[in-house]
C-alpha cells in the first residue's frame, strides 16, 4: 500500500455530485457569450476581427493544457520514469482532446484568418521583405498546411500513446511499453517542431515583421507550467476520492510540485533571455514588438506596461517565492491555489501576446468578458471530453511495469523493463479482475 500520509488522504472524500453539471454549464454560458460577442463585434470598431482575436486567446490558452499534457506523457516514456505512472493516464486523456476537438475549435480562426493576420491581407506581399524572407511558410497555403500537419501529428501521438497504454491494461505485455517508447523517440522532435510552428503561425504571425528564435520555447514553457499545476490539482482530487491513493507515494506530489517550481524558473528565464537579446541588439525590426507593449500610439505608457509588470511579479516572483520551501511542494492546500493562479497568469500572458496588435492603446477591459466566455466554452468541452475518456479506462496504468516503483516499493525480481515482475500489480484494488473503468467500484 501507499505510504502517502497527506491530510488529503485521511480527509473524507469530496461530494462531486454538484460538480457533475459544471462542464455543461460552462459550455452553455460560453455559447451564449460567444454568440453575443460575435454579434456585438460586428458593430464594433474592428468588426468580426474582435471576436476572432478573443477566440484566438481562448484557443491558445486551452491548447496549452492539451500540449502540456502530451509533453508530460512523452517525457515520461523518454526518461523511463517510475514516479509518473499514476498521473500518466489522466494526462493521456487530456492530450487526446487535441484531435478532433481542438482541431474543430480552430475552425473559426481558419475562417477569419484572412481578416486577422495583416500579412494575409497584403496585396503585394513580394514588396514586403519580411514576408519574402519567410516564404513559403508565410503564404496562405503555408498557413493551412501547418494547421493540417500540426493536428495530424498531434493526433498520431496522443491517440497512439493512449491506445498502447490502455492495451497494456489487458495484456501487461512488454511490447506495449516498447511501442510507447518508440512513439516518444520520434514524437518529441515532432512535438517540438509542430508546437513551434503553431506558436509562430497562430500568434507571432500577427506581427509578421518580428523575429524571435525563442518564441516557440516561451509558449512551451508557459503551457507546461500551467499543465503541471492542473495535473497536481487533478491528482489531488483522485487521491482524495481514494481512486489512486493505493498507488501513490509522497514523491508524486513532491516531484510534480518540483517540476511546477522548475518551469516557473524556466518560463522566466526564456522570456528574459528573449527580451535581453532583443534589447541588447537594439534592432528596430525586433524592438518594436516590445515597444507596442509598453507605449501606446500617443507615445505614453499604456496599460500593457502594467500587464507586463503583472506577468513579471505574478507569473514568476509570486510562485517562485511560494514554492521555494521543500515542504510546500508536497502540500496541496498551498499548491492548488497557485495552480488556479497559474490559469489567471497564463490568460494574462496570452492576452499580452495577442491583443496589443488589435488594441495598442491598452488592455481592452471592455472585451475581457468575451475572452473569458470563449475560454469557458472551450474548457467546458475539454472537461466533457476528459470525463468521457476517463470512464473508458482504468484510472491509472494498472499493468505498467513501473507501477510498483511508483508506489515506493522495489522489484524483487528483475525484468528487462522495470526490475520487477509484470504481474506484481495483479493483487491491487484496480487489477484487471477487480477494476471497473473510470475507477468506480
Over residues 401-429, mean pLDDT = 58
More confident site: 239 or 5: 239
Reply yes or no on whether the pLDDT at 418 is more than 70. no
Distance of CA 398 to the CA centre of its chain: 25
Where is average pLDDT lowest: 59-73, 118-132, 152-166, 341-355?
118-132
Residue 314: pLDDT over 90: yes
Q: Would 1 be classed as within a structural domain?
A: no
Task: Flag whether 121 is in a domain.
Answer: yes
Output the CA–CA distances (angstroms, integers) from residue 363 to 56, 293, 309, in the order listed: 16, 10, 13
Average pLDDT over residues 204-210: 94
| 295: DSSP letter | B
pLDDT of 414 strictly over 50? no
Q: Residue holding cell 521583405?
A: 129
Inside any domain, residue 28: yes
Q: Please give the average per-residue pLDDT across 241-250, as a whole number.
A: 90
The whole-number pLDDT of residue 250 equals 79
In the predicted structure, residue 337 carries a pLDDT above the cut 80: yes
Query: How far apart (Å, rounded) are the C-alpha atoms in residues 211 and 204?
Result: 9
Band of residue 131 on the pLDDT scale cut at 50, 70, 90:
very high
Q: Specify if 281 maps to a domain.
A: yes
C-alpha cell of residue 146: 501547418
Q: How many domains does the chain have?
A: 1
What's the pLDDT score for residue 13? 86
Cα–Cα distance, 338 to 316 (Å, whole number): 11
Does the residue 2 lie in any domain?
no
- The residues near 26 (Cβ < 8 Å, ≥ 6 apart) are 376, 377, 379, 380, 383
DSSP 3-state helix, strand, coil percentages of the chain (rounded to 5)?
75, 0, 25
pLDDT at 150 over 80: yes
Residue 195 neighbours by CB under 8 Å, 6+ apart: 67, 216, 219, 220, 223
What's residue 438's pLDDT? 54
The DSSP letter of residue 79 is T
Check residue 405 and give its pLDDT.
Answer: 85
Q: Is the pLDDT of residue 285 over 60?
A: yes
Range of the domain at 79: 7-439
Q: Which of 58-72, 100-114, 236-250, 384-398 shows the lowest per-residue confidence on average (mean pLDDT)?
A: 236-250
- What pLDDT does residue 265 have? 98
Concatenating the DSSP letter of every residue in 190-241 gives HHHHHHHHHHHHHTGGGGTT---TTHHHHHHHHHHHHHHHHHHHHHHHHHHT
Q: Which percentage of the chain shows pLDDT scores above 90? A: 80
Task: Look at residue 115 and tell me whether its pLDDT is greater than 90.
Answer: yes
Between CA 254 and CA 5 the distance in angstroms is 12
CA neighbor of 77 nearest in space, from 165, 193, 2: 165
Per-residue pLDDT band for 71 (boundaries 50, 70, 90) equals: very high
Give CA–CA dist 352/343, Å, rounded: 14
Element spanning 184, H or E: helix 174-202
CB 100 within 8 A of CB 381: no
**Rounded CA separation 177/18 (Å):** 38
Average pLDDT, the chain: 90
Rounded CA separation 58/371 (Å): 6
d(CA 390, CA 96): 11
Question: pLDDT at position 406, please?
Answer: 84
Alpha-carbon distance of 51 to 231, in angstroms, equals 30
Alpha-carbon gap, residue 271 to 375, rounded angstroms: 24
The x, y and z cell numbers of residue 380, run together, are 467546458
Amino acid at each position: 500500500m501507499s505510504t502517502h500520509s497527506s491530510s488529503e488522504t485521511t480527509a473524507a472524500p469530496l461530494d462531486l455530485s454538484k460538480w457533475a453539471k459544471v462542464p455543461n454549464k460552462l459550455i452553455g454560458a460560453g455559447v451564449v457569450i460567444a454568440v453575443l460577442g460575435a454579434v456585438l463585434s460586428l458593430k464594433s470598431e474592428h468588426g468580426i476581427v474582435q471576436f476572432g482575436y478573443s477566440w484566438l486567446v481562448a484557443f491558445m490558452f486551452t491548447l496549452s493544457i492539451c500540449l502540456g499534457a502530451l509533453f508530460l506523457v512523452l517525457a515520461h516514456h523518454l526518461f523511463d520514469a517510475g514516479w509518473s505512472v499514476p498521473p500518466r493516464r489522466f494526462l493521456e486523456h487530456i492530450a487526446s482532446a487535441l484531435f478532433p476537438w481542438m482541431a474543430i475549435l480552430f475552425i473559426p480562426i481558419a475562417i477569419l484568418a484572412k481578416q486577422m493576420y495583416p500579412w494575409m491581407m497584403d496585396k503585394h506581399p513580394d514588396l514586403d521583405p519580411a514576408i519574402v524572407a519567410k516564404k513559403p511558410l508565410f503564404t496562405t497555403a503555408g498557413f493551412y498546411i501547418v494547421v493540417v500537419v500540426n493536428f495530424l501529428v498531434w493526433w498520431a501521438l496522443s491517440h497512439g500513446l493512449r491506445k498502447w497504454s490502455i492495451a497494456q491494461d489487458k495484456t501487461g505485455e512488454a511490447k506495449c511499453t516498447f511501442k510507447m517508447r518508440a512513439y516518444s523517440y520520434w514524437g518529441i522532435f515532432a512535438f517540438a517542431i509542430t508546437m513551434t510552428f503553431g506558436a509562430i503561425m497562430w500568434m507571432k504571425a500577427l506581427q509578421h515583421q518580428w523575429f524571435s528564435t525563442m518564441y516557440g520555447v516561451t509558449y512551451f514553457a508557459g503551457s507546461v507550467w500551467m499543465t503541471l499545476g492542473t495535473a497536481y490539482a487533478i491528482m489531488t482530487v483522485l487521491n482524495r476520492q481514494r481512486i489512486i491513493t493505493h498507488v501513490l507515494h509522497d514523491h508524486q506530489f513532491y516531484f510534480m510540485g518540483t517540476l511546477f517550481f522548475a518551469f516557473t524558473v524556466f518560463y522566466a528565464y526564456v522570456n528574459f533571455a528573449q527580451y535581453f537579446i532583443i534589447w541588447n541588439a537594439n534592432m528596430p525590426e525586433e524592438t518594436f514588438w516590445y515597444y507596442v507593449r509598453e507605449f501606446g500610439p500617443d507615445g505614453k505608457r499604456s496599460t500593457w506596461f502594467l500587464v507586463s509588470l503583472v506577468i513579471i511579479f505574478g507569473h514568476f516572483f509570486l510562485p517562485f517565492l511560494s514554492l521555494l520551501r521543500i515542504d510546500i511542494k508536497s502540500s496541496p492546500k498551498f499548491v492548488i491555489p497557485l495552480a488556479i493562479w497559474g490559469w489567471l497568469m497564463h490568460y494574462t500572458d496570452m492576452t499580452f501576446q495577442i491583443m496589443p496588435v488589435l488594441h495598442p492603446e491598452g488592455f481592452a477591459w471592455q472585451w475581457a468578458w468575451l475572452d473569458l466566455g470563449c475560454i469557458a466554452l472551450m474548457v467546458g468541452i475539454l472537461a466533457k471530453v476528459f470525463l468521457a475518456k476517463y470512464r473508458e479506462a482504468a484510472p491509472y496504468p494498472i499493468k505498467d511495469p513501473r507501477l510498483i516503483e511508483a508506489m515506493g516499493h522495489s522489484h524483487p525480481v528483475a525484468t528487462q523493463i522495470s526490475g520487477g515482475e509484470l504481474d506484481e500489480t495483479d493483487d491491487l484494488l484496480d487489477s484487471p479482475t477487480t477494476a471497473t473503468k473510470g475507477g468506480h467500484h
